[in-house]
Amino acid sequence: MKVDGNNMRTIWLDKDLSTVKVIDQRLLPHRLVISDLKTVDHVIAAVKEMVVRGAPLIGVTGAYGVYLATLNSPAKTIEDHYLAAECSRLKSARPTAVNLAWAVDRMFSLVSGVSGTSEKIDAARKEAGKIAEEEVESCRKIGEHGYHLIEGLHRRKNKETVNLLTHCNAGWLACVEYGTATAPMYVAFDKGIDIHVWVDETRPLNQGARLTAWELGKYGIRHTVITDNAGGHLMQHGMVDIVITGTDRTTYTGDVANKIGTYLKALAAHDNNIPFYVALPSSTFDWTLRDGIKGIPIETRDPDEIRYVQGMNHGMIKDVLITPIASPAGNFAFDVTPARLVTGFITERGICNASEKEILNLFPERKNS
């Protein structure tokens, strides 16, 4: 994506082939800083501390983490037991987004099947790059498919502004390029459709206010940041035509784990007959889980993310305490929206209803997994 005229991705391999470069998302929108990841420990810290975040990007970062593990093997050879232990450390960095385990497992099965140290390193580098490119292509296709939903609304509204609402950041910053929920917005904007996006601020870490607003603004898309509780009111007053969110893990039956608060938006959309779509690449489906509420692990994070808010003050990025010093806080990072509240999924293969039958019709190769 273009940032101030320069093409940029969220992650790339440096020319030295031993440094993974990422945008440090903790500092946006105030500072655009690139961080270097050179070891598995660096990758784990970047994922845990949310230097990188968003399901597809966590997956790609994990894949590059496996590549760094092959480069930094303590022995001359890369033994399976060493690689398996590094993979398991990587996978435990964040629990909810299934893309991390998916990408790391894919890397392990490929690399462990290759013989020779330099051959393993080479294969790992190529596979991590391939996963990144596949995610880019999936997001591009999600944009093409999802565009038709926005275009249809635009026609039905006699070419008046289409108002979208999104939660958290499921934009290019959460992926490598384009984003998932934002990809249809970028395509619609490029094709001249008048759109406006309501951006949920998304407490506690404000991925909407900080990241989605930054992305959309850089692209020139009209948007308004709202409090997390404003969506229901806007929906009751006809100010939202469609909700599109991303997801961290979606069961093959259509239950959606996404940033905390997504469920409440889905309830409000359902109550107001507003379409609620979830955009995702196939790497975000969990093909093993039937019941999302019982089965999807929900990350709990440091309560200080709730007790403090970060912002810019006189040119300095600062944390400010907003609760009584002694009050405890509970930081549940994700929730699960049941399939019955989801109108449909926008995937790289097209759009389907949120049912096991329709999901498996789009991905028939998963029918027996």
Residues tagged active-site: 248
Q: Minimal distance in Å, beta carbon 295 to ligand MRU?
A: 18
Burial 154-177 (b: 16+ CB within 10 A, else e): beeeeeeebbbbbbbbbbbbbbbb
Instruction: State phi, psi for 289 to the nearest 5 degrees.
Output: -105, 130
Q: Quick one: 285 exposed, middle or buried, by C-beta within 10 A (0-12, 13-18, 19+)?
A: buried
Task: Please identify, using beta-carbon distances, which residue of 110 and 143 lies nearer to ligand MRU.
Answer: 143
Cα→Cα distances 16→12, 13, 286, Å? 11, 8, 35
Q: Is 142 in the site for ligand MRU (CB under 6 A)?
A: no
Closest C-alpha to 56, from 22, 103, 23: 103
3 state SS of 55: helix
Site string (187-226) toward ligand MRU, x via CB under 6 A: --------------------x-------------------
Q: Is 254 in the site for ligand MRU (CB under 6 A)?
A: no
Task: Please identify, using beta-carbon distances, which residue of 184 and 246 lies nearer to ligand MRU.
Answer: 246
3 state SS of 350: strand
Q: Is 248 in the site for ligand MRU (CB under 6 A)?
A: yes
Q: Are strands 334-337 and 344-347 parallel, antiparallel or unpaired?
A: unpaired
Task: Please identify, using beta-carbon distances, which residue of 175 and 240 lies nearer to ligand MRU.
Answer: 175
Which range touches ligand MRU (CB under 6 A), out of 15-23, 116-124, 240-248, 286-294? Answer: 240-248
Q: Minimal distance in Å, beta carbon 195 to ligand MRU?
A: 19
Q: Is 180 in the site for ligand MRU (CB under 6 A)?
A: yes
Tokens, residue 352: 């389907």
Q: Is 136 in the site for ligand MRU (CB under 6 A)?
A: no
Q: Minimal distance in Å, beta carbon 258 to ligand MRU?
A: 5
Interface residues toward ligand MRU, by CB under 6 A: 53-56, 97, 168, 170, 174-175, 180, 207, 246-248, 258-259, 333
